[in-house]
């Protein structure tokens, strides 16, 4: 707006005083006192300012003579403007001491996520004077976390970019067109990161703001007072994502509590903070929140920050190599965890192998029982023939009623043995299955569900059970057939055929 002021100095008045020049997110106000008028006002003196106002915004003009009632000039009505100017010129004509106040007010409109800045110094001063909580509230009201907002500096011939992040671009009109803007920042990353902060820290007042430190990280190296304010916001937000708790009090004072290697409580007024020695906090924040679950990294970072962080005369200091120390410690932590992980997986493999061995033992137990039963019966029948051949009466029958009863006894015992063996088999199978699920439950807190299911495969358990069941069915069937056949042969040889 310096061109407007220069115009009034050159064309209208010998002396121009700037009474007010304010620029913020909502409006721009310029109030000038014109003294020692050179000539009367004409129509062009009123309308020339419109060429400096962006079409998306609207402007109003009031002129006051010697502190009297203001004249409102409706710039959309040329006849009315000329009528008002006639009255103004009559009041100021031939009066060298008259003071004419000209007040322009521009109402800004956010169009396509673009907001005008008409005087960068005034806008920067406005931002710089805001207390921390007020600044965050203003940002929260006028900036959309889901889109990049362009604060467009008007009426500059320079191609100047002061600030650029996913959330915010501050640049002149000429430069802004050449900069690639991410219209749709990664909203899922934002929501996940904020969710992780709420799960691992207590941000208290800051919880209502959806900003990330990345939003105020300048991707270009241009230095400016505006950039300095955003840099302070970036660092404070970074700390709030790391500290155990953070709180804003008295609108401008922020305090942090960090429980690590030792307890640290620090804070200060936003307007007085010096952050040149704590830029590492942003690097630490970035490294921590790259992970979907930052809990382990956070705990480790807090411990090491507790050793590196210092406060001297109210100033904060965090060594630049703190991030390297944290990453090195994390690498060791991961190595130890990997070794423990491999060791645990080996233990699980041993458990699964043990279950397989037990399954084979159950299988072998039934087969052995079948063989023992066969051996017992075979021994009994062979002994019948041997005792008969050694008998003093060679004409005696091998099978008679007494021997038949003894045979029935042996076959009955074999049936009892089969029943006991089947019951033992069922108990062993149930015990094996219970052991499988109890061991799986023990490892639930260590492995992810999918990996746990792969390690303790239900399919493997079912295959083992089916294999044993098939074997048991086959040998049970043979066992029963054997008993029935021997009973039938004994009956025939005892009562129907004499040998």
DSSP letter for each residue of 296-328: HHHHHHHHHHHHHEEEETTEEEE-TTHHHHHHH
Instruction: Give the C-alpha separation, 320 to 312, whole Å.
Output: 16
Q: Are 151 and 170 in contact (CB under 8 A)?
A: yes
pLDDT at 390: 66
pLDDT at 443: 78
pLDDT at 253: 94
Give the residue, 389 or 9, on which the prediction is more confident: 9
Write the pLDDT tens digit of every residue in 131-187: 999 999 999 999 988 888 999 999 888 888 889 998 999 999 887 566 766 655 567
Q: What are the Cα distances from residue 72, in Å, to 42, 51, 63, 77, 104?
A: 15, 20, 7, 11, 10
pLDDT at 395: 54
* CB-based contacts of 418, cutoff 8 Å, min separation 6: 373, 476, 479, 480, 483
CA angle at 64 for the pair 60 and 70, rounded to the nearest 5°: 65
Torsion angle defined by CA atoms of residues 65, 71, 74 and 78, in that order, rounded to the nearest 10 degrees: -70
pLDDT at 95 over 60: yes
Q: If you average pLDDT over every residue of the chain, what do you get?
A: 85
Work out the pLDDT band at 429, boundaries 50, 70, 90: confident
Instruction: Give the C-alpha separation, 57 to 116, whole Å.
Output: 8
Give the residue, 308 or 25, on which the prediction is more confident: 25
Distance between start and end Cα atoms, the chain: 134
pTM score over 0.75: no
User: Measured in whole angstroms, how far is the alpha carbon of residue 497 from the centre of its chain?
Assistant: 89
Work out the pLDDT band at 361, boundaries 50, 70, 90: confident
Give the residue, 301 or 95, on which the prediction is more confident: 301
Instruction: Give the C-alpha separation, 343 to 345, whole Å.
Output: 5
DSSP letter for each residue of 1-25: -HHHHHHHHHHTEEEEEEEEEEE-S
Spell out the domain ranges in the chain. Answer: 2-108, 116-320, 332-495
pLDDT at 377: 82
pLDDT at 421: 87
Instruction: Give the C-alpha separation, 337 to 375, whole Å.
Output: 56
Write the pLDDT tens digit of every residue in 10-64: 888 888 899 999 999 999 999 999 888 888 877 777 777 888 889 999 988 888 8
Mean pLDDT of 310-334: 86
**Lowest-confidence segment of 189-198, 369-378, 443-452 by average pLDDT:** 443-452
Write the pLDDT tens digit of every residue in 445-469: 667 677 778 878 888 788 888 888 8
Q: What are the Cα distances from residue 381, in Å, to 66, 387, 405, 469, 488?
A: 139, 10, 13, 31, 14
Mean pLDDT of 196-208: 93
pLDDT at 393: 60
Question: For the chain, what percent of residues have pLDDT higher than 90?
Answer: 30
pLDDT at 66 over 60: yes
**Lowest-confidence segment of 111-125, 193-207, 300-314 by average pLDDT:** 300-314
Q: What are the Cα distances from residue 50, in Å, to 60, 77, 111, 154?
A: 10, 14, 18, 12
Work out the pLDDT band at 341, boundaries 50, 70, 90: low
Write the pLDDT tens digit of every residue in 208-221: 999 999 999 998 86
Buried b (16+ CB within 10 A) or exposed e, 466-497: eebeebbeebbeebeebbeebbeebeebbeee
């Amino acid at each position: 707006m310096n061109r407007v002021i220069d115009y009034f100095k050159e064309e209208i008045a010998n002396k121009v005083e700037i009474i007010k020049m304010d620029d913020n997110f909502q409006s721009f106000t310029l109030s000038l006192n014109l003294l020692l008028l050179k000539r009367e006002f004409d129509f062009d003196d009123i309308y020339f300012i419109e060429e400096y106002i962006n079409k998306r915004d609207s402007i109003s003009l009031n002129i006051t003579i010697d502190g009297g009632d203001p004249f409102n000039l409706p710039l959309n009505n040329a006849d009315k403007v000329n009528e008002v100017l006639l009255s103004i010129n009559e009041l100021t004509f031939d009066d060298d001491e008259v003071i004419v106040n000209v007040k322009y007010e521009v109402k800004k409109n956010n169009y396509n996520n673009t907001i005008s800045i008409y005087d960068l110094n005034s806008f920067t001063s406005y931002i710089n004077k805001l207390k921390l909580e007020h600044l965050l509230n203003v940002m929260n009201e006028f900036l959309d976390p889901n889109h990049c907002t362009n604060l467009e500096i008007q009426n500059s011939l320079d191609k100047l970019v002061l600030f650029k992040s996913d959330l915010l671009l501050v640049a002149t009109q000429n430069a802004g067109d050449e900069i690639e803007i991410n219209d749709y920042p990664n909203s899922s990353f934002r929501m996940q990161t904020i969710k992780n902060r709420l799960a691992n820290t207590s941000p208290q007042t800051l919880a209502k703001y959806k900003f990330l430190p990345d939003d105020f990280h300048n991707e270009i190296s241009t230095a400016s007072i505006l950039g300095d304010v955003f840099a302070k916001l970036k660092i404070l937000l970074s700390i709030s994502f790391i500290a155990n708790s953070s709180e804003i009090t008295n609108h401008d004072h922020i305090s942090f509590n960090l429980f690590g290697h030792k307890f640290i409580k620090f804070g200060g007024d936003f307007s007085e903070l010096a952050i040149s020695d704590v830029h590492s906090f942003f690097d630490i924040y970035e490294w921590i929140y790259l992970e979907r679950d930052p809990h382990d990294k956070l705990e480790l970072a807090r411990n090491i920050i507790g050793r590196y962080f210092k406060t001297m005369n109210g100033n904060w200091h965090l060594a630049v190599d703190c991030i390297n120390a944290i990453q090195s410690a994390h690498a060791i932590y991961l190595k130890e965890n990997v070794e423990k992980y491999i060791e645990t997986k080996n233990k699980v493999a041993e458990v699964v192998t043990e279950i397989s061995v037990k399954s084979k033992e159950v299988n072998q137990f039934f087969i052995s029982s079948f063989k023992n039963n066969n051996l017992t019966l075979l021994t009994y029948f062979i002994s019948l023939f041997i005792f008969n051949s050694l008998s003093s009466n060679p004409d005696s029958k091998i099978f008679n009623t007494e021997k038949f009863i003894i045979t029935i006894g042996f076959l009955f015992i074999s049936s009892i043995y089969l029943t006991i063996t089947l019951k033992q088999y069922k108990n062993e199978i149930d015990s094996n299955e219970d052991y499988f699920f109890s061991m799986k439950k023990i490892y639930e807190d260590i492995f992810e569900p999918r990996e746990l299911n792969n390690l303790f495969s239900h399919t493997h358990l079912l295959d083992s059970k089916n294999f044993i069941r098939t074997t048991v069915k086959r040998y049970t069937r043979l066992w029963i057939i054997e008993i029935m056949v021997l009973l039938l042969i004994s009956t025939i040889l005892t009562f129907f055929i004499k040998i």
